[in-house]
Structure 1
């Protein structure tokens, strides 16, 4: 065998080995989906005008990624105005119905090891006329979507673990009785999580809504939430 041929074969073997190693390292990463509304998107609190987004390092999904470390990849899927399962007005784009968006997001991004769902702050708006019990029922539907996926489109895989997060109660805000309803979400979500055999976290135990609008969170509070959720996710991903 010529020296040139031996060299070529050695290079092919090296490339193949590097490729396999890179794939193995990628497969070892724990993948986490953060699915939510403007609290997950990272909206800056404001009393008027269009919402602006907090810097990436201040948003809770990225703060969670940082706290988790190199072995984890967090995918942000927050959307302003998103609800759990309230149908949109026909002219409203994109769809704000979380139950419509979640299946496609799961299929496109899979595999995920853990799916974190924090929704409900928009659902308590009086215009939707939803009770905390009805909102929690919708959360249960999202949980079942995740648990029943078994892979993506034409693929097989284990269903991700689910972490249901009750958002912190709203402060006093223009939404009339919404803040009262928001205080009841934690107990309603805890019951649904227990029934569905998934994990639960009450964000109100570690943070308070501190935005000037009574709905959104400051960057410091977002980061605090991300660090707290990282502890929960790390335990789940083992």
Structure 2
């Protein structure tokens, strides 16, 4: 029976390219790489939105970037699911959004609650959850990004430890994207094609294990 994985994320999941200020080729995005690695026994659903936060409003956006408000609708539209991979928190680092690793931690906790308490219906089981700590934000000469993410280099470096502890506490899987990928100095936030592919490859073993494959 085919297993279904939902990849819930932001521009790192959407595939934003700092080089082109566009989108990485489909085959370079990490959910695509993960899909190819897992093969036909798994269906990987990419659900990435540029600027998506864990659970906070972004009043500068032209769409709803609040991950907690949108998640129940996404879960319902892709029901049933075997695994939800959550890769969020980078945009929470913006001072105009939340500006702290602790705020992102609270947001991730809220997302886990939403998955666990969702009205799945049809006797569908609650999916497992994999929390992924995003690659740390790095210094950049890009003035706009540096200003937008003021203080984020230090704050984002706290996410792996916080997320790991939360995953242990809530019984979720955990993966630290910093072990396989680094952000590009072009804007300090996004992944180049090589690093987003590396993330997809890096996630394969734990996703395979959590799906029981």
TM-score by length of 1: 0.82
Is the contact made by 2:92 and 2:103 (CA closer than 8 Å) also made in structure 1? no
> Which of these residues, 5, 11, 23, is aligned with residue 38 of structure 1?
11
Q: 1:158 and 2:128 equivalent?
A: no
Matches within 5 A, 1:158-177: 158-173=125-140, 174=146, 175-177=149-151
User: Which structure 2 segments of 5+ residues have no match?
Assistant: 141-145
Structure 2 CA distance, aligned partners of 1:189 and 1:195?
Answer: 10
SS of 2:47's partner is strand
Deviation, 1:211, is 5.0
Is the contact made by 2:56 and 2:98 (CA closer than 8 Å) also made in structure 1? no
Matches within 5 A, 1:47-66: 51-66=21-36
**Aligned-residue RMSD, C-alpha:** 1.5
Deviations 1:187-212 (A, max 9, x none): 11111111111111110011111251
Structure 2 CA distance, aligned partners of 1:137 and 1:92?
Answer: 22
Deviation, 1:57, is 0.4
Deviations 1:166-196 (A, max 9, x none): 0010111302211111100111111111111
Counterpart of 1:13 in structure 2 is none
Structure 2 CA distance, aligned partners of 1:106 and 1:208?
Answer: 29
Is the contact made by 2:9 and 2:87 (CA closer than 8 Å) also made in structure 1? yes
**Greater CA radius of gyration, 1 or 2?**
1
Structure 2 CA distance, aligned partners of 1:129 and 1:168?
Answer: 18
Structure 2 CA distance, aligned partners of 1:92 and 1:220?
Answer: 29
User: Which structure 1 segments of 5+ residues have no match?
Assistant: 1-27
> Which of these residues, 119, 144, 147, is aligned with residue 88 of structure 2?
119
Structure 1 CA distance, aligned partners of 2:175 and 2:206?
Answer: 8
Deviation, 1:129, is 3.9
TM-score by length of 2: 0.91
Counterpart of 1:231 in structure 2 is 205
